[in-house]
Amino acid sequence: MQKIPATVVTGFLGAGKTTLIRNMLQNAGGRKIALIINEFGDLGVDGDILTGCGIETCTEDDVVELTNGCICCTVADDFIPTMTKLLARDRLPDHIVIETSGLALPQPLVAAFNWPEVKTRVTVDGVVTVIDTAAVAAGRFADDEAKVAAARAADESLDHDNPLEELFEDQIRAADLIVLNKADLVDAATLERVRGEIDSQCAEAVKIVTAEGGVLPTDVLLGLSAGTEDLIADRKSHHELHHEGEGHDHDHDEFESFVVEAGQVADPKAFAEGLSAVIAGHDILRLKGFADVPGKPMRLVVQAVGQRIETYFDRPWKQGESRATRLVVIGLHDGLDAATCGTIRATIRALTDGAAQAAAE
């Protein structure tokens, strides 16, 4: 029996994974694609956006959401059973696409394709790592060299002290194909500089392509035939390199997320401006969700990556679905202690209609 190819789409929070997958589904060329989506935070926004996007081949049946934590930590409990169920279906997919959370290490996930129950049926066609070119250009993932040097002087086993940089490198290290996305946000010289930077970090065989809005021919993304499960042992993550043989579980303690339930949003533009100020005031990496705009039959999608905010109406609220404003906020643990989370929650709520919020509670 021919193995089903599976593509792992990874990349940091907000790099454009869901956008790229949405475009891929729109141009699937008749392939039946099953999606497995994993998110950090207790609100399944990506799956909801994809099933709400109206693409014929993207129904709730085609999308499985894994929301019990990062996929790299829940391989045995969540991912393997999901794959087993998928493979037991009468109508098998032609291709499986897995979107990892923006904080996931791809290595444990890819290694799971060597588990006997999966290995006989599925092969990893390739790991596609999506990169926010503008964020790299702005130094978002760069170590503060002075800080690292000081920390290393105190603990010489230390590699990085910046969880963003470490994760970014691990996601690049796992890649078969790298997509320099958001090319529209940088000029040509910056794009080339970032390409050079990334190129120097990955193996020669790894292809690097650029994209705007995640738009790439599906044949560029699918059909790499890399068989990455056989190669992944040589693409170790920082965690694996540091704790080899120690049986030391990794976690995502450096990151924090919480959900804000708020009232109605009377003025989406003013709301976005208010959110922008909240993000600027606290080091929020990612904020996303849906908002209830009074008098509008459609729900408002709210997407923020750093300071950049986007809002658009995607689909009508469904019958029986409660109209609500719910946003997930993600940042570094150090920047989001309980008091700060409380302040952010209160500030966001204050941007919405408090009376409606009180009535809803």
Q: Point out which residues bind ligand GTP (CB under 6 A).
A: 11, 13-19, 46, 102, 181-182, 184-185, 212-214, 286, 288, 303, 305, 310
Nearer to ligand GTP, 112 or 302 (CB): 302
Residue nearest to ligand GTP (CB): 102
Q: Using alpha carbons, select from 129, 128, 125, 83 the residue that is nearest to residue 230.
A: 125
Comparison of 15 and 105: residue with beta carbon closer to ligand GTP: 15
Alpha carbons 16 and 361: distance in angstroms, whole number: 34
Nearer to ligand GTP among residue 182 and residue 195 (C-beta): 182
Residue 115, burial from CB neighbour count under 10 angstroms (0-12, 13-18, 19+): middle
Least distance (Å) between residue 182 CB and ligand GTP = 4
**In this complex, which beta carbon is closest to ligand GTP, that of residue 170 or of residue 353?**
170
Amino acid at 300: L
Residue 346 identity (one-letter amino acid): A
Residue 49 neighbours by CB under 8 Å, 6+ apart: 18, 22, 301, 314
- CB closer to ligand GTP, 13 vs 122: 13
* Minimum CB distance to ligand GTP, residue 129 (Å): 11
Between 13 and 118, CB nearer to ligand GTP: 13
User: What are the phi and psi torsion angles at 64 (to 5°)?
Assistant: -110, 130
Nearer to ligand GTP among residue 65 and residue 353 (C-beta): 65
CA distance 117 to 87: 10
Residue 88's φ and ψ, nearest 5 degrees, are -90, 0
Closest to ligand GTP by CB, 191 or 206: 191
